[in-house]
Each structure stands twice: as structure tokens, then as C-alpha cells.
Amino acid sequence: MSSCSPGLLLVIALAVLVNAVTFGHLTFLAPVVTDVAGLGEWWVPVALVLFGVGSFVGVNAGGRLADLSPTSRRVSSWHSAGR
């Protein structure tokens, strides 16, 4: 059995957490749209599309902002140096 670095385990844990939260949002989106907001069932696919578009825009904007940050460059070069 090979050992993983703590950084890799952190990345895997964060990926699992992000996916769990995303599926949690998708699971409760229909009851929020129909029960809480009082909209018809027709609005559920619209809410899913809006959620997807918002996620896409947010991930792209976050990635571009992270690329501009000198701290992220320092951390990534520190990590790639094996420290």
C-alpha cells in the first residue's frame, strides 16, 4: 500500500466535500422551489439550470481570481518543490 502526502489527502477530502455539498443542494432544490417558494413543478428544471450556470460562472471567476493572486503562486511553487 502506498502512502499519500498530507496535501494530496487534503485535496481529496476537499473534492469529496464539494461534491457532497453540491449533491445536497440538488437534493433539496425541488422542495425549496415548490414548497418554500410556492412555485410550480415546472420551475424546478429552471432552478437547476440557473444553479448550473451560477456554478459554472463561479468556478470560472474563482479560478481566474486565484490565478491573479501572488499567494497562490507562492503556495503552488512551494508545493511543487516538494516541501
Band of pLDDT at residue 63, cut at 50, 70 and 90: confident
Helix (H, G, I), strand (E, B) or coil at 2: coil
Q: What is the mean pLDDT of residues 32-58?
A: 93
pLDDT in tens, 4-27: 787 888 889 999 998 899 888 888
Task: State how far the Cα of 81 lies from the Cα of 40, in Å rounded to an integer.
Answer: 54
Query: Is this structure's pTM higher than 0.75?
Result: no
Average pLDDT over the chain, rounded to an integer: 82
